[in-house]
Amino acid sequence: MFSKEDKKSTEDLSQSSNIIGKETVLEGSLESEGNVRIEGKIYGNVKAKAKFVLGAEAYVDGSVVARTAEVAGKVRGNIEISEMLILKPSAVINGDILTNQLVVEPGATFNGGCKMGHLAKEIEIITPQSRVAEKAIKRA
């Protein structure tokens, strides 16, 4: 079904890391097949098929969806993690959490609802080609 090249490129994408630096501000959504580390600010949603890491001075104003996550910064929005979410002592969450496992370290602040035992679901990343096709279907 998949050639060796197709399989290798999928594996490479899942192992890739994306970093938003400390002085960087991103307005818009971020989606990645691999890992995402945020040290700056994002005003939009973040979706990572692998691991999501939010640095101590970082900020996300939007929803976060990932397989696993480690949060030390601030999130204003809902968080949906299919495996394990770790809230570090400097974490401040203002939104609901949906996760399978939750670790809250002393000092972390969480204001919102929490639902655990969440069944893992496939995280879908929408490619530019699928967005174009989706818009064409809506117009028809």
pLDDT, tens only, 9-68? 445 545 678 999 999 999 999 999 999 999 999 999 999 999 999 999 999 999 999 999
User: Does the pLDDT of residue 5 top 90, yes or no?
Assistant: no
Question: DSSP letters of 10-43?
Answer: HHHHHT-EEEE-TT-EEES-EEESSEEEESSEEE
Q: Which two tokens stand for residue 34?
A: 């691999």
Whole-number Cα distances in Å, 65 to 28, 30, 58: 15, 10, 16
Beta bridge partners of residue 103, listed in sequence order: 86
User: Does the pLDDT of residue 85 top 90, yes or no?
Assistant: yes
Residue 124 has a pLDDT of 72
End-to-end CA distance of the chain: 32
Please state whether the predicted TM-score (pTM) of the whole model is above 0.75.
yes
User: Does the pLDDT of residue 6 top 60, yes or no?
Assistant: no
Centre a 10 Å sphere on the Cβ of residue 59 and count the other Cβ atoms it contains: 17
Strand runs labelled E in 39-96:
41-43, 46-54, 59-61, 64-71, 74-76, 79-87, 92-94
Chain position carrying tokens 């655990």: 116
Instruction: Give me the phi and psi of 99, to 5 degrees please.
Output: -155, 165
Rg (CA), the chain: 16
